[in-house]
Amino acid sequence: MEFDRRSVLAGVAAWAGTGARARAKSRFVYKYGNNLPATHPLNRRARQAADQIRKETAGELDIRIFPSNQLGGDTGMLNQLRAGAIEFFTPSSLAIATLVPAAAINAVGFAFRDYQTVWAAMDGDLGGFIASEVEKAGLHMMPRVWDNGFRQITTSRRPVLTPADLSGLKIRVPVSSLPISLFRTLGGTPTGMQFSEVYTALQTHVVDGQENPLPIIDTAKLYEVQNYISCTNHIWDGYLFVANSAAWYRLPKDIRAVAETVLNTCCVAQRADVAALNVSVRAALSARHMTFADPDPAPFKKILIERGFYRHWREIFGDAAWRHLERYVGRLG
């Protein structure tokens, strides 16, 4: 039955064509908001996914994308998602933690060393654990997690080469207790702030630095207001593609199957885009006169161990979540 309906849908799509005609008769027009520039791989691949979903459902599901905080910052978008005012949102692991604390388990400082381990964990038990926690909060999470990336520190006045360089540094971090705790433990002066405010805060020197993966530093043009990049890789951060559960389960089963399959396929392509950018953007940012450094992570990690950071967060996350993480990254602290 499901299969038959889908092939009929595909046939109708081929006949009707795409664009205005398909849009005009969409049964489900769903809004998707996010906090990234339209040029970031997350948005490029999300546009590709939306086009393909429209096509494969004969226009029945039309996902309209609102990038770049057009609908407000993360806090606002998360509230809109829960209220059903928007149907999809991609909070980062750090942003969704305000609602689902356990969902930030992958963002424990210096836990992941490489992408191989990241994807093994996120496509394995750790990702499954996160999805079930998100589900309990009334949201549906697509099984594949999109890549935000390894977070790197940027500053305007001086580079961060050792933990001592963080001392007194006013650094913006996402509104999330984990990165605030991380930078405080390391001796910095972190301020939680939504990404929608970051460019202006750097430009006006309300803060001296921030931390984000290279593709964001590039697409959000943070190189215009920052001079140094320290590749500390201190957090691996993902974007969870989440739906308002009521809106999601309102969709017929076959449309849900198409949407989930296409989103997952485009997600895997997005990970490859970010991997390529991690290499090419470095040269691009150097050409824009950003100075790179690759500090040794060992002294940072040592301080976290000595000051009880891992012990503290193990208690907060609980043994079950912590075990899922350590199964992939090894013993922490």
What is the rounded CA–CA span in Å between residue 222 and residue 206?
15
User: Using CB under 6 A as the criterion, what x/- string covers residues 219-238 for binding ligand X2X?
Assistant: ------------------x-
The values of phi and psi at residue 86, to 5°, are -125, 155
Strand runs labelled E in the chain: 28-33, 61-66, 88-89, 139-141, 146-150, 152-155, 170-173, 189-192, 209-212, 228-230, 236-239, 242-244, 291-293
CB of 189 to ligand X2X, least distance (A): 17
3-state secondary structure 53-89: HHHHCCCCEEEEEECCCCCCCHHHHHHHHHHCCCCEE
CB of 54 to ligand X2X, least distance (A): 26
By the rule CB under 6 A, 171 interacts with ligand X2X: no
By the rule CB under 6 A, 68 interacts with ligand X2X: no
By the rule CB under 6 A, 195 interacts with ligand X2X: yes
For residues 179-192, b (16+ Cβ closer than 10 Å) or e, as one string? bbbbbebbebebbe
By the rule CB under 6 A, 148 interacts with ligand X2X: yes
By the rule CB under 6 A, 216 interacts with ligand X2X: yes
Q: Which of 9, 30, 35, 223 binds ligand X2X (CB under 6 A)?
A: 35
Alpha carbon distances (Å) from 170 to 62, 166, 181, 186, 191: 43, 8, 14, 12, 7
CB of 148 to ligand X2X, least distance (A): 5
Which amino acid is located at 242 in the chain?
A: V
User: Using CB under 6 A as the criterion, what x/- string covers residues 86-115 for binding ligand X2X?
Assistant: ------x-xx--------------------
CB of 190 to ligand X2X, least distance (A): 12
Q: Which of 109, 174, 209, 215 binds ligand X2X (CB under 6 A)?
A: 174
Half-sphere exposure at residue 123, Cβ-oriented, CA atoms within 13 angstroms:
12
Residues 270, 41: contact at Cβ < 8 Å? yes
What is the rounded CA–CA span in Å between residue 18 and residue 26?
11
CB of 111 to ligand X2X, least distance (A): 16
Looking at the DSSP bridge assignments, the partners of residue 89 are 33, 242
CA dihedral 170, 174, 176, 178 (to 10 degrees): -70
User: For ligand X2X, which is the closer residue by CB, 148 or 230?
Assistant: 148
CB of 176 to ligand X2X, least distance (A): 7
By the rule CB under 6 A, 33 interacts with ligand X2X: no
User: Using CB under 6 A as the criterion, what x/- string covers residues 43-62 for binding ligand X2X?
Assistant: --------------------
User: For ligand X2X, which is the closer residue by CB, 173 or 266?
Assistant: 173
At 308 the three-state DSSP class reads coil
At 26 the three-state DSSP class reads coil
CB of 237 to ligand X2X, least distance (A): 6
User: For ligand X2X, which is the closer residue by CB, 13 or 94?
Assistant: 94
CB of 143 to ligand X2X, least distance (A): 20
The residues of the shown chain that bind ligand X2X, judged by CB under 6 A, are: 35, 92, 94-95, 148, 174, 195, 212, 216, 237
